[in-house]
Structure 1
Amino acid sequence: MSLLKKLRIKTQILIAVTCILIIMLTIIFSLYTQTSQIVIKNNNQYSEDTIRKFKLGLSQKVDEISQIMLNLGFDPFVQKFMTETNPSLLYEMGKDLDRKIISLKAGRKGFEDIVLIGTSGTRYSLNGGIEYVQQLETEIVNSKTVYVSGLEKYSYSNNLQNSMVFAQNMYSNDMNDGTDGKRMGYIAVIVNVDSMFFDNDKSNTEPGVGFYLIDRFGKVFPETHSPDITRSISALSRNPESNQKLTDYVGGIKGAVQIQKLDQIQASVLSFVPEEALLAELNSVRTRSILIVILALILMALPFAMIINNIVHPIQILVKFINSNKSGNIKELKMNLQLEGNVEMNVVAEKLNGMLGEINILTHKLVETTTHLLEAEIEKEKAATAYLRSQINPHFLYNTLESIKGVALEVGVNKIVDMTKALGKLFHYSIKGSGYVTLDQELNAIRSYVFLQLIRFEGRFDVTYDFTEETLRVPVMKMILQPIVENAIFHGLEPKTSKGMLTISGKVDDEANLVLQIADDGIGVEGGILEGIQRRLLEKPSAISRLSNDLPDNDGLGILNVNNRLRLAYGLEYGLKFESEAGKGTCITLTMPSDIILPGGNSDV
């Protein structure tokens, strides 16, 4: 957005028009995509319903075939025919069998032939299909249930037809000769797949469109003229995830595919409709929509050009006028701006002319005010200098402590010697060197400070230090720990009635940040006060040390000061975290980067 604001208005308007065009085209394509999905979904539902009806019809046909074979298989006349060996009787019985089978076929579409083959050598066929059936005899005999062949070509009346064979073994029943239950042959029914399972009208307007029957050997019916389509259909039918709706390619053509298993005939049925055929009308609508958008943009070009001219031309005059005044010539500041254009630009010209008229007056007032401010600043600096001069010289205090230590040594008061030595080291550390030291140097000063407090409080608390060698080399700001340790001792441990524990630790975390913790088991902080401290720690960094008089109290001044120093030096993601629970203690965590370069300056304490 910041880059866009810097562009010319004309460029911004052209970008806006381009964005409108892209949005409109995106909407059109989005609607097209959603509509396409709806069309494909509806087609899948239609295909699913059609396949369901197809399976229902197929199931009825298969049941009808099974019933015919069952009736014939247990028919006493047929069983007697299968066991008869007298040729003359077989001839006479064959005529009766013809009439029986012809009556069974009457009104049933797709029944081409019924074949009976007995174990005793008896053969019967209504239309000469014995040799065709005998090719499958081994599989039929070994079948435990109704046998269903694959798709085969069968010549009937000198006309090749796609056929399937349904067959079932026959067993003797009620023969009264002790042979009941003995296999006596089998019965086979040859059906025309085209007329029995499919409608006569299978004309397709697109290549590959329609329903296909695929047998267990991968043969496809109806046959297609494209080997690629046949191979694709066969491959899809072998997909183990049956009964699925998907989008796939058949013969290189993408379309909606649906496959379902036909367990009764050990085959599959596949429906396929190319997307091109499904979405033909939608493509036409999409093309017309794009043309309408382009035409609308062309018609909008003229009014946009007028608007651009009415806006940009006055602005160009305004920019030229402002550039002419950038030289700072007082005379040019007294010129009036003349703009002709829209109402807004006239208002701008009027206000600008009024502003230029006031600049001269304000200039004189600004010079006078600046003069007074400079004089006040000089007086302020003088007062600050006088204040500094009034302070006790830190080096004088340091030298005085050394003198006290020498006197204590002479009289043998070792405790005073240790205290002045520790205080001297702490004071010397605070006034010497740059603002950055290593953590090891900072800890030396903290040990001196804690030593003095242990003497003062006469062993009312213990202290432990836990730091890795890696952390001791990390550069930190000087005096960053002392205010936190002081807060822990005076506000956490001193009010505690029993002996306390102060823990000072540090480590470098996985993100290369130095994490320092000062924890005590003192009285902790009440919830209301804790929330106030935590809220102030999240405020924008400011020079707390210079604004202490504006604070309601100074209890947390050192903590806030340390937090501000960290955030001002390293960024808002670093700083101080304050955690406490009344009666249990307080833990303050300082986070800062560990990979900064230590500035030159103080290298020892």
Structure 2
Amino acid sequence: MGLLKKLRIKTQILIAVTCIMVIMLAIIYSLYSQTSKIVIKNNNQYSEDTIRKFRLGISQKVDEISQIMLNLGYDPTVQKFMVQNDPSLSYEMAKELDRKIISLKAGRKGFEDIVLIGTNGTRYSLNGGIDYVQQLEKEIQDSSTVYVSGFEEFSYSNNLLTSMVFAQNMYSNNMNDGTDGIKIGYIAVIANVASMYFDNETSSTQPGVGFYMIDRYGEVFPDAHSPDIARSISALSNNPDNRQRLTDYVGGVKGAVQIQKLDQIQASVLSFVPEEALLAELASVRTRSILIVILALVLMALPFAMIVNNILHPIQILVRFINSIKSGDIRDLKKNLQLEGNVEMTVVAEKLNGMLGEINVLTHKLVETTTHLLEAEIEKEKAASAYLRSQINPHFLYNTLESIKGVALEVGVHKIVDMTKALGKLFHYSIKGSGYVTLEQELNAVKSYVFLQLIRFEGRFDVTYDFTKEALSVPVMKMILQPIVENAVFHGLEPKETKGMLTISGGIADDDTLVLRITDDGTGVDGQKLADIQSLLLNEASSTNHNGSYLTEKGSIGILNVHNRLRLAFGSAYGLKFESALGQGTCITLSMPRDFILPGGDFHA
């Protein structure tokens, strides 16, 4: 701090401006960081919900496929077809199967083909998928439950589709030939992965963004457009350490990640959104904020430069003028100092010009005297000049002015940070959230307001708070206490010549009524005004437009507004009660029910 005082005024001002800019940029960066975390968290919650729906849809599809295979597997026609060795009968039964399976597929999205393969060589396919299924025959036959393949390429209608095969072994049933329970083949369903599992909500046209399925072999669907992305997605799905992480890297790009196992189809689903895509708009806001700060500083530069010039330029002229006097040239004493700018510097110039004028007059008188004296008188003139120089030393004037400048630089305001914090809390509270808050939240806002008033009135009054724990949890209308406290400070305590006391208390009465009291020992009101106020508060059609009433006369319309809000919300049995005595103080009592239905239908009890 001592080093800062010794710097030039211009340097100190530049340091102050730089600090302000750094603080503003730090605030913008902090807000950006906090908002980025919130955006990523909300995206992960959305992704988690979407994955939950995705898993539910897959479960329904798998159950539907299992039911189809079960129904067909035990269908008498299918059973007979699977063990039929007569080609002509097989042909006729195949046509019957066509009608049955086409009817079964109708309205079901993603079912590309249903294949039947018997142990006796019988084959059936609706859309030519027999060769495709037979590639998996050994794995199907070895499976004791429903078999699910990985991602396979299936060519249908000249289109190459990514599909999965669901298959189940078939056993004879009710054949009436003593062969029940004998394995007669298997049934397979070819499912189109894209049309069955993915819809508009889980698809994405941006590379690397969206939802991906990873089969048990590490294959990724849909195509990730990059081998690096595919390898990253596959690695993440097989790494249990990443399951609970909110962010990770895919193909070298950091983003929000969600991974869930799909046990029914032996696969995983992964959602990935790059942070760049998530925070694109936020980054734009940050850039605009920085540009606004820079623009604001540029716009402030002109008036700021004018103010600095009005301070520094007169001081520089004064320093140069005093240095010229210090040089000892007597002709400089005839000059007048012209300083334009602030009032203080003008006064300094006037006083210094007056002093220099007196010195100039004395000097002329001394010169006139020395022309009429002899050498003795000349010696006397030198002695007088030396005496005058010892009395009025220009170096002394310079040092005195430097001392005045140093004192002026030490003046500062130290409470503005605390007041800004309190005012910021009160403003934030007044514009954010719903119309109802807990009494504890309302009380915190009142404490911020009272803090500002305590700084303003510099110990003119004390304040005490007395609330029960039960009362602090009751919901109340927002900004319902502050107007009453403001009334107590400005109309009760401010006019009081001695130190006052403000008491704010609250509790639950025996009839489950929330009762709040704001009491001051201020000036109070006389009997006639008290009667007018009480009559106005009792009036069913209360209005803020009553000429001559205390409420409008004193600028306390806020009290009547609070009273009307309570009566409109809870009925005429609730509201404000105004008690006062001239010279003794005022007590305003607020009452409202403890239990009531909040806006939106929620009942508070």
Q: Please, what TM-score do these two structures have when normalized by structure 1?
A: 0.52
- Alignment correspondent of 1:213: 213
Moved more, 129-138 or 85-94: 85-94
Structure 1 match to 2:602 = none
Pairing 1:361-400 to 2, within 5 Å after superposition = none
In structure 2, what is the equivalent of residue 28 of structure 1? 28
Three-state SS of the structure 2 residue aligned to 1:96 is helix
DSSP-derived class of the 1:218 partner: coil
User: Cα offset for 1:236?
Assistant: 2.1
What residue is the counterpart of 1:129 in the other structure? 129
How far, CA to CA, are the matches of 2:79 and 2:85 in structure 1?
A: 12
The verdict on how the C-alpha distance between 1:68 and 1:337 changes in structure 2, with shifts beyond 3 A counting, is same
Q: Which residue of 2 aligns with 1:584?
A: none
Alignment partners' CA distance in 2, 1:348 and 1:139: 103
Aligned partners of 1:201, 1:162: CA distance in 2, in Å?
Answer: 19
Asked whether the equivalents of residues 167 and 188 of structure 1 are also in contact (C-alpha less than 8 Å), the reply is yes
Q: Could you tell me how far 1:67 is from its partner in structure 2? A: 0.6
**Cα–Cα, structure 1 residues 231 and 316, in superposed 2: closer, same or farther, change >3 Å?**
same
Letter in 2 for 1:275: E
Residue pair 2:214, 2:237 contacting (<8 A) in 1 also: yes
When residues 41 and 351 of structure 1 are mapped into structure 2, their CA distance, relative to the original with a 3 A threshold, is: farther
Task: Rate the CA distance shift 1:117–1:42 in 2: closer, same or farther, 3 A.
Answer: same
1:265 and 2:243 are equivalent in the alignment: no
Q: Distance in 2 between matches of 1:70 and 1:122?
A: 19
Write the deviation string for residues 231-285 of structure 1: whole angstroms up to 9, x where unpaired: 2222222221465453233333333222222111111122222233222222322
**Aligned-partner residue type, residue 280 of structure 1:** A
**Is the Cα–Cα contact under 8 Å of residues 258 and 272 in structure 2 kept in the other structure?**
yes
SS of structure 2 residue aligned to 1:50: helix
Asked whether the 8 Å contact 2:207–2:225 carries over to 1, the reply is no
CA offset digits 1:161-200 (Å, max 9, x no partner): 1111001122233334444333332211111112111237
**Cα deviation code 1:323-354 (max 9, x no counterpart):** 89999xxxxxxxx999775345578899999x
Is the CA contact 2:203–2:211 (under 8 Å) kept in the aligned structure 1?
no
Contact 1:257/1:271 (CA < 8 Å) preserved in 2? Answer: yes
Post-superposition offset of 1:147: 0.9
* 1:429-469 CA distance string (max 9 Å, x none): xxxxxxxxxxxxxxxxxxxxxxxxxxxxxxxxxxxxxxxxx
The equivalent residue for 1:194 is 194
Cα 1:262–1:326 change in 2 (3 A) is farther
Q: Deviations over 1:183-229 (max 9, x none)?
A: 33221111111211123798745322222221111112122432222
Asked which structure has the greater CA Rg, the reply is: 1
| Secondary structure of 1:268's aligned partner | strand
1:94 matches 2:94: yes
In structure 2, C-alpha distance between the alignment counterparts of 1:178 and 1:64, rounded to whole Å: 31
Contact 1:261 1:268 in 2 (8 A): yes
Contact 1:243 1:261 in 2 (8 A): no
TM-score of the aligned structures, taking structure 2 as reference length: 0.52
The residue that corresponds to 2:558 in the other structure is none
Gaps of 5+ in 2: 328-335, 354-386, 392-605
Task: Please state if 1:113 is matched with 2:109.
Answer: no
Please give the alpha-carbon distance, in whole angstroms, between the structure 2 residues aligned to 1:141 and 1:2.
Answer: 89
User: Does residue 6 of structure 1 match 2:6?
Assistant: yes
**Do the aligned partners of 2:259 and 2:269 also contact (CA within 8 Å) in 1?**
yes
Q: Compared with structure 1, are the counterparts of its residues 120 and 242 closer, same or farther at alpha carbon in structure 2 (3 Å cutoff)?
A: farther
Greater alpha carbon shift after TM alignment, 309-318 vs 5-14: 309-318
Within 5 Å, give how 1:80-91 maps onto structure 2.
Answer: 80-91=80-91
Residue 246 of structure 2 aligns to a residue in which SS? strand
Amino acid in structure 2 at the alignment position of 1:44: N
> Judging changes above 3 Å, is the alpha-carbon distance between structure 1 residues 314 and 158 closer, same or farther for their aligned structure 2 residues?
closer
Q: 1:202 and 1:31 mapped to 2: Cα distance?
A: 31
Q: Secondary structure of the equivalent of 2:240?
A: coil
RMSD between superposed Cα atoms in Å: 3.8
Letter matched to residue 194 of structure 1: A
Q: Answer whether contact 1:224 1:230 (CA < 8 A) is retained.
A: yes
The answer for unaligned runs of 5 or more in structure 1 is 328-335, 354-359, 365-605
Which residue identity does 1:257 align to in structure 2? V
The DSSP-based 3-state class of the residue aligned with 1:190 is strand
For the residues of structure 2 that align with 1:305 and 1:126, how far apart are their CA atoms?
Answer: 86
Alpha carbons of structure 1 residues 303 and 100: separation in structure 2 relative to 1, 3 Å: same
